[in-house]
Amino acid sequence: GAVVSQHPSWVICKSGTSVKIECRSLDFQATTMFWYRQFPKQSLMLMATSNEGSKATYEQGVEKDKFLINHASLTLSTLTVTSAHPEDSSFYICSATRQGPYYEQYFGPGTRLTVT
Amino acid sequence: QQQVKQSPQSLIVQKGGISIINCAYENTAFDYFPWYQQFPGKGPALLIAIRPDVSEKKEGRFTISFNKSAKQFSLHIMDSQPGDSATYFCAATTTGGGNKLTFGTGTQLKVEL
């Protein structure tokens, strides 16, 4: 149990276009979903916290108009990178929190975004 | 105060040896300490976690030791195998405070034959 999927696993897009990444919790309902960004050989950087039916909470320094997050249901959250530029190229990872005594956080497999 | 300091940055261990990764935190409100294992190009996988009301938790070859007074916790991998070669992240969170994880900087483990 506790499987989180992401789609697509990798995407290449041209500068100026928008890209949508989906995050789904497959076998549990997620009270909260998180979006992270990870640069090579670095730790995970939290971008935003997403709760179903409410606006996402963005971390300081993250442009909310550039990284649009929609949490449509207890099993689906999407991240849209708008007007992508090469500096947005990164590994984006979502996680979902399963309700329970410890609210364990389970991560998706990640999406590699390359902007050309 | 939100930082979690992790060491070493990299570690090479012989097959069958013990791998030890250490983490220290400042925020005494943290009450849940998970460890994640990440292979290249993959998302982190929850390995093992501990609450501060116990000093040790063991799952198979993986053991967390927790020292509440010192605000330190460590991961021990017994009988390390080449398949354990990965990056390990410690993390901490306050379960009543939105569950945002504060990650350590990661340890790149290589287990050699």
Nearest CB to B42: which of A95, A106, A110? A110
Average pLDDT over residues A70-90: 94
Neighbours of A17 (CB within 10 A): 12
CA distance A86 to chain B (A): 19
Q: Convert B47-75 to b/e letters by CB count within 10 Å (16 or more is b).
A: bbbbebeeeebeeeebbbbbeeeebebbb
pLDDT in tens, A3-51: 999 999 999 999 999 999 999 999 999 879 999 999 998 999 999 999 8
Taking an 8 Å cut-off on Cβ atoms, the answer to whether A103 and B95 are in contact is yes
A6 touches chain B (CB under 8 A): yes
Percentage of residues in chain A with pLDDT exceeding 90? 78
CA distance B61 to chain A (A): 21
- CA atoms in the 13 A half-sphere facing the CB of B98: 12
| Mean pLDDT over the full length of chain A | 93
Taking an 8 Å cut-off on Cβ atoms, the answer to whether B43 and A46 are in contact is no
DSSP assignment string, A36-65? EEE-TTS-EEEEEEEETTS--EEPTT--TT
The Cα B53–Cα B1 span in angstroms is: 21
Positions in chain B short of pLDDT 50? none
Query: What is the predicted pLDDT for the residue at A48?
Result: 95
pLDDT in tens, B31-62: 999 999 999 999 999 999 999 899 999 999 99
Contacts of A26 in chain B (CB under 8 A): none
Taking an 8 Å cut-off on Cβ atoms, the answer to whether A4 and B43 are in contact is yes
Contacts of B4 in chain A (CB under 8 A): none
List Cβ neighbours of B94 (8 Å cut-off, separation of 6 or more): B27, B29, B30, B31, B32
Taking an 8 Å cut-off on Cβ atoms, the answer to whether B45 and A4 are in contact is no
Nearest CB to A107: which of B43, B49, B105? B43
